[in-house]
């Protein structure tokens, strides 16, 4: 994994584009190339290059309306004398700070360092934060769970037609955006289990709904995944003294109805399932403390089918 600092993104990606845009705006304000060079701290030859070249106003930085607005404000201020270098720098720093808060700099940073994708990284604005570490570990357990599923023998046959997802909830999860899962779901292709992308928060409504309903009754539950409902799979669960809980396949108020069933039962079993309905494929959910523990149980149940 290559290490790229956010400051490198600012120096290599942001400042050159902002300087080129400022050079064009200052020239449009009537300043000579030398005067523009003095304001920007570059040579007159560099300004000539900026002005002669094609100005690209697309991309995460140049295409952001905040960039154009800041450039116009700085150019007008410098040209009129109402703004000095200190004022211009303050405006530019404000823009960079805004771009570092889940903005264009984050987009460019993820492009340069793909390991950051899906982490919801905000180190630039929060520093070393325990909450961020928890988010990273939550994503990591989903990543490990997906790897388990993708390498387990016989797992491809257990993947439903609609695909599988696997998720883990944050410790204080309250809604679907607090649950990490795989965008696009996991699918079986040519006998293999294909994981299409890195985990992200809010990537699965169905698995998240089951996890949150289970957590409301048993806070130790934090992870789940879905497989195709199969009598042999349910029998394998019973062989492990897990009595699966059947629930209605209808999606209306599923979270509330699941929670009520868990409460009536008095606990949350590690396997819950439905037999499908019109247009709804039969699905079994395997639950665990995390996505990884749910995946491990699923792998063991599927192995018993073989």
The whole-number mean pLDDT for each consecutive block of 10 residues of the chain, a chain of 306 residues, reads 80 88 90 89 88 81 90 91 87 87 82 76 64 84 95 95 96 94 94 93 94 96 97 96 93 88 95 93 97 97 89
pLDDT on residue 127:
56
In sequence order, which residues have a C-beta less than 8 Å from that of residue 57 and are 6 or more positions away?
A: 21, 63, 68
Element housing 188 (H / E) = strand 187-189
pLDDT on residue 109:
83
Domain boundaries, the chain: 6-124, 130-305
Domain 130-305: top CATH class: alpha beta
Q: How far apart are CA 87 and CA 252, in angstroms?
A: 56
Element housing 89 (H / E) = helix 85-99
pLDDT on residue 291:
97
Structure tokens that stand for 55 in this block: 């100005």
What phi, psi does 250 have (nearest 5°)?
-60, 140
- Please tell me the chain's helix, strand, coil percentages from 3-state DSSP, rounded to the nearest 5: 55, 10, 35
Q: How far apart are CA 216 and CA 253, in angstroms?
A: 15
Helix (H, G, I), strand (E, B) or coil at 268: coil
Helix (H, G, I), strand (E, B) or coil at 197: coil
pLDDT on residue 119:
66
Cα R_g (the chain), whole angstroms: 27
Q: How far apart are CA 178 and CA 201, in angstroms?
A: 6
């Amino acid at each position: 994994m290559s290490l790229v600092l956010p400051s490198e993104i600012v120096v290599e990606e942001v400042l050159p584009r902002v300087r080129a845009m400022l050079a064009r705006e200052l020239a449009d304000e009537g300043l000579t190339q030398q005067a523009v060079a003095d304001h920007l701290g570059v040579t007159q030859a560099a300004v000539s290059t900026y002005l002669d070249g094609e100005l690209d106003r697309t991309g995460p930085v140049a295409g952001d309306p905040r960039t154009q607005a800041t450039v116009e404000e700085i150019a007008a201020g410098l040209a009129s004398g109402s703004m000095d270098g200190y004022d211009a720098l303050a405006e530019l720093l404000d823009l960079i700070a805004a771009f570092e808060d889940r903005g264009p700099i984050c987009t460019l940073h993820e492009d340069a360092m793909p390991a950051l994708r899906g982490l919801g990284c905000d180190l630039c604005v929060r520093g070393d934060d325990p909450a961020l570490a928890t988010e990273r570990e939550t994503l990591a357990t989903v990543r490990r769970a997906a790897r388990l599923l993708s390498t387990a023998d016989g797992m491809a046959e257990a993947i439903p037609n609609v695909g599988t997802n696997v998720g883990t909830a944050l410790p204080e999860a309250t809604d679907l955006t607090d649950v990490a899962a795989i965008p696009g779901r996991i699918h079986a292709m040519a006998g293999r289990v294909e994981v299409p992308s890195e985990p992200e928060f809010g990537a699965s409504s169905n698995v998240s709904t089951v996890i949150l309903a289970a957590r409301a009754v048993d806070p130790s539950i934090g992870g789940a995944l879905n497989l195709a409902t199969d009598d042999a799979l349910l029998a394998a669960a019973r062989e492990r003294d897990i009595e699966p809980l059947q629930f209605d396949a209808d999606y209306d108020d599923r979270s509330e109805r699941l929670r009520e069933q868990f409460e009536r039962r008095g606990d949350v079993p590690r396997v819950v399932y439905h037999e499908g309905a019109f247009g709804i494929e039969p699905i079994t959910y395997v639950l665990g403390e995390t996505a990884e523990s749910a995946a491990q149980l699923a792998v063991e149940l599927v192995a018993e089918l073989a």
